[in-house]
Chain A
Amino acid sequence: MKMNGYAGHQAIIDLSKKKVTIQETPYEMAKLYIGGRGFNSRILYDYVPKGIDPFSPENILVISVGPLAGTVAPSSGRLTISAKSPATRALGDANTGGHFGMEMKFAGFDTLIITGRSEKPVYLEINDKSVQIKDASHLWGLKTNETHDALYEIDKDAEFMYIGPAGENRVYFAAIMNDIHRAAARTGMGAVMGSKNLKAISVKGTGAVKISDVDKFLLKIDEILDRIFHDRAFPSLSNCGTPFLNDLAYESGGLAVNNSQTCEIDMTRLSSKYVSTHYYFGSMGCAACPISCGKFAYVPNGRFMLKSAGGPEYESFICLGTKCGINDPEAIIYANNLANEYGMDTISLGDTIAFSMEVYERGLISKEKTDGLELKFGNIDAWLELITKIAFRKGFGDILANGVRVASEILGDETKPYALHVKGLEPPAYDVRAAKGFGLGWAVSTRGADHLRALPNFELLGYEPEIGEEWFGSPETTDPYEWRGKAKLVFWHENLGAAVDSAEMCKYTCFSAYAVKEKDLATLLTTATGIQFSGETVLQAGERIVMIERLFNLREGQNARDDNLPERYLKEPFKTGAAAGQVVEIDKMLPEFYKIRGLDFETGKPYRERLEALGLLKDAEKYGLVK
């Protein structure tokens, strides 16, 4: 069947054999998994053998865009990169915006499946359905911005993604960067790319995207745009970018400081107003995005002078900044830029440094261990030096480059309570003691601690309890400090979130003011592709995608106990701030969540009926994963 919207082709690139095969994007995949993250997760389940080393040639790096990429669906040009993760040793994926995704669609591909390992450094040059494997020995060792410059010299009209030294050195939280400032950051996809000796991908396409019902599609777009522009958060997000959350986190007691030990630090110079008026000089729009939350920043003078850099996101200001006890915006802009140039996830990088600072301050590691660095919270010199040491795996940096889980195993059992992670992945910025739904979201996320899997913004938007009653059958869902009703809240958000990730739209666009819900997405997908979707089948596709990811993780040996939070969030409340005294009542939420998701609470295995309903019974039976 002819599908509109999709490019219609996948490229399988075997770097060991230097062979490229092009095949059609299967119709069944489109119908059941939508695209993007859904495609990737299904492909990983089918083709990544159980128990492999994430850095072995057998691991697969999959890159997919969605059926709406290249259209005017708001912020629809994102993409997901997936592989078995070195950080979680289970399913890993990272999502990025910018313009690479749209260009990949115009070049004729929905999916790139990269297997094997090249003997020597290579990069891929993709040009209108042709894929060439090219020598990259001249690029190896370059920082991401330098790699961009080198590729830009060759073709100014192409889009690029690349790894930096951190990816080459297999740092467990190495990112894949694109458009210089955009990161597919989480779960170490850059390290997997590095392990394949793949330095970069260049893509250029002159193709077109045709959709099935232009008039109905555009009507729906107008409706969605109207909601986005009238969203209360739109002016802040558009003018200040995600750092508008710096203010919200501070006010609502969810600010994480000093490895999440406290929520107190002077935020005067980290307020969104201060940052945006002193350091921004422009906005960068992802493909077809009416919001443009990405910012260009500069530091006019002084030690951290920079002419042009990507403005740190809220996540970077907090994880790389306040969690390390640092509240100097200029230092954070500088360090964020450094992390981008080396190609590292600023969340995991910041968290890992924050962990090392806490164990140092507690006297659990000595100066000898840290190569003489005085790792106290707020020590900017030590912090900067450590970022470089980690990227190049030098000295103490070689230990921290493995993320907090492995680092704490190396540094000793007594350091483990301070290694904050879920399933091996370090947590994002907003402290979940001040947002219990997000807490549950981190715990059950299939890629480890992450806010974006569920993104239950609903509890933070100040809705009246009646809206909670109306949407989720419980008025408590609008109260961030409340645990009741959050299982259902997270279940719905995870499912819609997976569908949105698979359509490769932006969750900020969709989940801020809920401008795109399941019925809207169904209309966009149906009118674009010609495949019939309904609100129900969109949510079911989301549920199927989450389930195939859970099956992948179960096959890798995870069980129900992996869905949990570090003790700090369960037993150590903040002593001050709006969320003082709060901890996450995870034990109360998990059993209900498991019931709703159709999972056995002891083993984590899904029940037969649920698997049947999702069409995954045979897939689960094959590996004995049925309860």
Chain B
Amino acid sequence: MVEYITIEAGLCTGCGICELRCSLAHENVFSPTLSRIHIERNWKEGTFTPHMCRQCDDLPCVEACPTESLQFIDGHLEVDYETCVLCGECVEACSYNAIWLVDTVDRIIVCDLCGGDPICVKYCPTNALKIKEK
């Protein structure tokens, strides 16, 4: 069974609970900068667009990685921080704008599905984020 996250942007209210929960789960602090999901907020148009890994089929990010530090294992991405050289090729390759090179911590940040039970999905108050089986 392979799972992936779907995003219904029309339901997103931009509250950012997903960003805060994500950073706490992965980094033990609240910090949207360190979150594996980012919401683009456009107050003028009234739109909120969450960006995060969709576990897509073709995985251009994995293909782009010159050091094979980014791997798709057990249905989610994993970064080998020992071998990653922070080149940013994966960031460029992702068509969902869902991988980030965060310079405050010098690390590649990408969704790992929380190992199967994503905290963002669990706490999204409007069900804009859902997990589905492929």
Q: Which of B31, B46, B47 contacts A106 (CB 8 A)?
A: B31
**Per-position 1/0 for A440-472, Cβ under 8 A of B:** 000000000000000000000000000000000
Complex Cα distance, B48 from A283, in Å, reads 10
- A513 at the binding interface (Cβ < 8 Å): no
With A145-B44, A180-B43 already in contact, the answer to whether A208 and B13 are too (CB < 8 A) is no
Instruction: Provide the bound-state CA to CA distance between A404 and B118, in Å.
Output: 54
Least CB distance from A104 to B in Å reads: 13
| Contact present for B29 and A209 (CB under 8 Å) | yes
A281 adjacent to chain B (CB < 8 Å) = yes
Contact B29 A179 (CB under 8 A): no
Decide yes or no: A211 and B30 within 8 Å by CB, A71-B20, A290-B17 being known contacts.
yes
Check if B30 sits within 8 Å of A282, measured CB to CB.
no
Give B contacts to A, CB under 8 Å: 10, 13-17, 20-21, 23-24, 27-34, 41, 43-47, 104, 123, 125-126
- B17 and A72 contacting across the interface, CB-CB below 8 Å: yes
In the assembled complex, the Cα of A106 lies from the Cα of B20 at a distance in Å of: 12
- Asked whether any CB of chain B lies closer than 8 Å to the CB of A285, the reply is yes
With contacts A72-B24, A180-B43, A180-B44 known, is A208 near B15, CB below 8 A? no
With both chains docked as a complex, state the minimum distance between the C-beta of B28 and any C-beta of chain A, in angstroms.
Answer: 7
Question: What are the residues of chain B within 8 A of A149 when measuring CB–CB?
Answer: 44
**In the complex, what residues of B have CB within 8 A of residue A286's CB?**
15
Shortest Cβ distance from residue B103 to the other chain A in the assembled complex, whole angstroms: 9
**A296 close to chain B: CB less than 8 A:** yes
How far is B5's CA from A100's CA once the two chains are assembled, in angstroms? 29
Taking a contact as CB atoms under 8 Å apart, the answer to whether B123 and A72 are in contact is yes
**Chain A min CB distance to B82 (Å):** 24
Q: List 24 A-B contacts (CB under 8 A).
A: A72-B30, A72-B123, A106-B32, A149-B44, A179-B43, A181-B43, A206-B104, A208-B23, A208-B29, A208-B31, A208-B34, A209-B30, A210-B29, A210-B30, A282-B46, A282-B47, A285-B13, A285-B125, A289-B13, A290-B17, A292-B15, A292-B125, A308-B44, A308-B46
Q: Which residues of A contact B23 (CB under 8 A)?
A: 208
Q: Is A288 an interface residue (CB 8 A)?
A: yes
CB-nearest residue of chain B to A286: B15
Within 8 A of B (CB), among A206-224: 206-211, 214
Q: How far is the CB of A206 from chain B (nearest CB, A)?
A: 4
Interface residue ranges of A42-76 to B (CB < 8 Å): 70-72
A259 to B134, CA, bound (A): 60
Whole-angstrom distance between the Cβ of A594 and the nearest chain B Cβ: 41
Chain A residues whose CB sits within 8 angstroms of the CB of B10 once the complex forms: 282
CA distance A211 to B31 in the complex (A): 12
B44 to A106, Cβ gap below 8 A? no
**Contacts A206-B33, A288-B20 given; does A281 touch B46 at CB 8 Å:** yes
- Beyond A72-B21, A72-B24, A208-B30, whether A308 also contacts B13 by CB under 8 A is no
**Nearest Cβ in chain B — how far from A178, in angstroms?**
9
Q: Which residues of chain B come closer than 8 Å to A145, judged between CB atoms? A: 44
Instruction: Give chain A nearest CB distance to B46 CB in angstroms.
Output: 4
Binary per-residue interface labels of chain A (146-157) against chain B in the complex, 1 for a CB within 8 Å, 0 otherwise: 001100100000
Minimum Cβ distance to chain B for residue A155 (Å): 13
CB contact between A214 and one of B28, B41, B45 (< 8 Å): that residue: B28
* A287 is an interface residue with CB less than 8 A from chain B: yes
Check A308/B45 contact, CB under 8 A, given A72-B24, A290-B15. yes
A344 lies within 8 A of chain B by Cβ = no
Which A residues are CB-close (under 8 A) to B104?
206
Q: In the complex, A238 Cα to B117 Cα: how many Å?
A: 26
Contact B46 A296 (CB under 8 A): yes
Q: A544 in the interface, Cβ–Cβ < 8 Å?
A: no
- Given A148-B44, A308-B45, the answer on whether A99 and B31 have CB atoms closer than 8 Å is no
Partner of A292, one of B27, B30, B31, B126: B126
- Give which listed residue, A206, A208, A281, A284, contacts B27 with CB less than 8 A: A208
Whether B20 pairs with A207 at a CB distance below 8 angstroms is: no
- Which of B20, B31, B32, B43 gathers the greatest number of chain A CB atoms within 10 Å? B43
Closest to A309 in B: B46
Question: What chain B residues lie within 8 Å of A72 (beta carbons)?
Answer: 17, 20-21, 24, 30, 123
Q: Which residues of B contact A420 (CB under 8 A)?
A: none
Task: For the complex formed, measure the closest distance between the CB of B95 and the CB atoms of chain A, giving whole angstroms.
Answer: 20
Interface membership of A102, Cβ < 8 A:
yes
Q: In the assembly, what is the distance between CA of A99 and CA of B23, in Å?
A: 17
A285 to B126, CA, bound (A): 10
**Chain B residues near A152 (CB, 8 Å)?**
44
Complex formed: what's the CA distance from A71 to B15 in Å? 12
Find out whether the CB atom of B16 lies under 8 angstroms from the CB atom of A99: yes
Q: Once the chains are docked, how many angstroms separate the CA of A283 from the CA of B13?
A: 5
Given A145-B44, A308-B44, A284 and B33 contact (CB-CB distance below 8 Å): no
Q: How far is the CB of B38 from chain A (nearest CB, A)?
A: 10
Quote the shortest CB–CB distance from A230 to chain B (angstroms): 13
Report the minimum CB–CB distance from B19 to chain A (whole Å). 9
List chain B residues, Cβ under 8 A from A106: 31-33
Asked if B46 and A70 make an inter-chain contact with CB atoms under 8 angstroms apart, the answer reads: no
Given contacts A209-B31, A285-B14, 20 further A-B contacts (CB under 8 A): A72-B21, A99-B16, A102-B16, A145-B44, A148-B43, A179-B43, A180-B43, A180-B44, A206-B31, A207-B31, A208-B27, A208-B33, A209-B29, A214-B28, A281-B46, A284-B43, A287-B15, A288-B15, A290-B125, A292-B125
From 178 to 233 in chain A, residues with beta carbon under 8 angstroms from any chain B beta carbon are 179-181, 206-211, 214
* Bound: A181/B44 CA distance, A: 9
**Docked complex Cα distance between A106 and B29 (Å):** 11
List of A residues within 8 angstroms of B15 by Cβ? 285-290, 292
A residues less than 8 Å from B32 (CB atoms): 106
A180 to B45, CA, bound (A): 10
Top 6 closest pairs, chain A to chain B, by CB: A285-B15, A285-B13, A208-B31, A296-B46, A208-B29, A292-B13
The chain B residue sitting closest to A75, CB to CB, is B15
- Chain B residues with CB under 8 Å of A289's CB are 13, 15
How far is the CB of B120 from the nearest CB of chain A, in Å?
A: 11
Chain B residues near A207: list those with CB within 8 A: 31, 33
A208 to chain B: which residues have CB within 8 Å?
A: 23, 27, 29-31, 33-34
Least CB distance from B23 to A in Å reads 7
